[in-house]
Amino acid sequence: MNTPKKILIVDDDIAIVDMISDILLEKQYQVLGAFNGKIACDIALAETPDLIIIDWEMPVLNGIEATRRLKENNKTKDIPVIIITGHMTSTSDLEIAFEAGAIDFIRKPIEPAEIQARSRSMLMLSEYHKESIRRKDWELTNLTHTNQKSNAAIGELINLIENIMQSCKTIDHFTQKELTENIQKVKINLRNNTWKQFQDYFNKVHPDFSANLLKAYPTISSEELKLSYFLRLNMSSKEIATITSKEIHSIDIARYRLRKKLGIERNIKLQEFLMKF
């Protein structure tokens, strides 16, 4: 059985919150309520709703300011926000709402059919986006494993050539030196090109990951950032060790050091923590 989608309704008028809640409960959504933007942001951090419907004009923190705050937080930035208002209805107001990060805009008085339809559409769009990211992550993981297998095959070929060189008595010193240098270049280029291809694809799927992680933890090294990429894709130590040609024990130590640097509590999974960025 599918878990009902969770929608947070925010309005300083309790009657509006109750009305929208009743409308959405008819469609079996799970509904949360808040009466100003500050409370909404706190609830969003704690509950991670699938959708937020928030009034523009409220005390303490209005809907636009709350939306901006939500979009600045890595944990809540991907939650779709619908702005509702009875007064701010001009084209310029619409632009302000979208610039703040809202995905839709509903004018009061609210029509039950409209709020249901818009909510359903935004939830479907959000789910499509999440599924698209999941599929791209799967493709990226498969690409990484495919490249690793190709690299392993090329590595075996290089080892064969090196063994032939060592056993062959007729290769002069100059030719052997040239072959050795070229083999070393192939190894370096293979390693660098594989990583660059992975990094470029990863950054297309998760364009803000590196910037967000480095902004929060500027002391992370390039190797720790590289490890974070693999962990973001939920790869195990064994998979990472195979891809990077390192010992599993070395990866486990690197994971421990990364966890310590990020200050993650023991009950929180490292992969889940990194998925917030």
DSSP string, 23-81: HHHTTT-EEEEESSHHHHHHHHHHH--SEEEEESS-SSS-HHHHHHHHHHSTTTTTS-E
**Sign, CA torsion 202/206/208/214:** negative
CATH code of 43's domain = 3.40.50.2300
In the block, tokens 């632009």 appear at 95
Alpha carbons 248 and 254: distance in angstroms, whole number? 10
Residue 121 lies in a domain: no
Contact, 8 vs 34, CB < 8 A? yes
Contact, 53 vs 29, CB < 8 A? no
In the block, tokens 């479907």 appear at 124
Residue 125 lies in a domain: no
**pLDDT for the residue numbered 53:** 95
Residue 210 lies in a domain: yes
**Paired tokens of 142:** 């498969």
Alpha carbons 224 and 161: distance in angstroms, whole number? 34
Instruction: Quote the Cα angle for 254-258-260, to 5°.
Output: 120
**pLDDT for the residue numbered 197:** 73
Domain that includes residue 106, residue range: 6-110
In the block, tokens 């009061």 appear at 108
**Paired tokens of 69:** 């705050």
Same domain, 74 and 141: no
Alpha carbons 7 and 4: distance in angstroms, whole number? 9
Instruction: Quote the Cα angle for 87-53-137, to 5°.
Output: 135
**pLDDT for the residue numbered 272:** 80
Tens digits of residue pLDDT in 8-40: 999 999 999 999 999 999 888 999 999 999 999
**pLDDT for the residue numbered 65:** 95
275: phi then psi, degrees, rounded to nearest 5: -70, -10
Q: What is the pTM of this model?
A: 0.58
Residues of the chain whose pLDDT is less than 50? none
Smallest CA-to-CA distance from 225 within 191, 238, 217 is with 217
Work out how many domains the chain is built from and give that number.
Answer: 2
Contact, 64 vs 56, CB < 8 A? yes
**pLDDT for the residue numbered 150:** 64
Alpha carbons 259 and 252: distance in angstroms, whole number? 11
Residue 118 lies in a domain: no
Tens digits of residue pLDDT in 184-212: 776 666 565 667 777 777 888 788 888 88
The sheet with strand 104-107 has its strands ordered as 30-34, 6-10, 51-55, 81-85, 104-107
Same domain, 209 and 94: no
3-state secondary structure at position 148 = helix
Same domain, 47 and 176: no
User: Which run of H or of E encompasses 137?
Assistant: helix 112-167
Residue 122 lies in a domain: no
Residue 119 lies in a domain: no
